[in-house]
Amino acid sequence: MLDPGHGGEDPGAIGQKNTYEKNVVLQIAKRIYNLIQKKPYMRVYMTRNKDVFVSLKDRIIKARRKKIDIFISIHTDSAKKKFVKGASVFSISRKEANIVAEKYYSNNYHFIENIIGIKKSNDEYIDHTIFDLIQNFSINESVKFGKQILNSLEKITDLHKKNIGQAGFAVLKAPEIPSILIEIAFISNLQEEKNLNNSIYQQKVAKAIFEGIEKYYLLNKKKYNH
Ligand SMILES: [Zn+2]
């Protein structure tokens, strides 16, 4: 599932030359979509494919409905210091993951039954263990997947962070879905803003992300055999 950030009334970050994050991330996501679609063994969806507002909650709901394997949120970064540049990739931090787990435990969300389709055992210990196994699998896969994307991006752009960043973004919190968030470049940096608007650069980024996806898929396809 490709998730172009923002949209509609939410422009995201705005560049010095008035480029809207919501527009460039949609353009790049569509390019990735087209590359994946050419592969008969992969299926691809988007949380939005036009300039509309989609809440963070609805993005996760859409992902769940499609029973996706990997969630990829696509954004551009922004900083007060205009010279800051480069791409970053984030997965959920352990701290945030623990907060999510506590919330599921205490609110008795019936998570396992409703989301995963395994009947609750009514043994709290077993239920929590199943939850933890599912969540740990997602986090480990997110990091592995994120590394492939970083390796791939490194060949075509500066990296802002050499390693996977840890964050608490809402779209990374679905405990059963391996999820990453890519900040393609700094829209607040004049050169990177220019790049983000350039169709050749957009295609280069899309291709790099696609190659990371494909590499991860080919290395892990046994896990996703459905
Ligand atoms: Zn954003």
Residues 142-186: tens digit of each pLDDT: 999 999 999 999 999 999 999 999 999 999 999 999 999 999 999
Task: Residue 25: name the closest of 181, 211, 214 by CA.
Answer: 181
HSE of 156, CA atoms in CB hemisphere, 13 A: 21
Three-state DSSP state, 153? helix
Residue 195 has pLDDT above 90, yes or no: yes
Residues 28-40: tens digit of each pLDDT: 999 999 999 999 9
Taking the centre of ligand 1 as the mean of its atom positions, its distance from the CA of residue 51, in whole angstroms, is 14
Instruction: Please state the pTM of the whole predicted model.
Output: 0.94
How far lies 93's CA from each of 8, 154, 182, in Å? 29, 22, 15
Taking the centre of ligand 1 as the mean of its atom positions, its distance from the CA of residue 129, in whole angstroms, is 34
Q: Considering the chain, what percentage of its residues have pLDDT values greater than 70?
A: 97
Residue 69 CA to residue 131 CA, distance in Å, equals: 17
User: Tokens standing for 44?
Assistant: 């691809």
- What domains are defined for the chain? 2-224 (3.40.630.40)
Taking the centre of ligand 1 as the mean of its atom positions, its distance from the CA of residue 118, in whole angstroms, is 34
Taking the centre of ligand 1 as the mean of its atom positions, its distance from the CA of residue 78, in whole angstroms, is 8
Task: Residue 78: name the closest of 188, 180, 164 by CA.
Answer: 188
Taking the centre of ligand 1 as the mean of its atom positions, its distance from the CA of residue 113, in whole angstroms, is 32
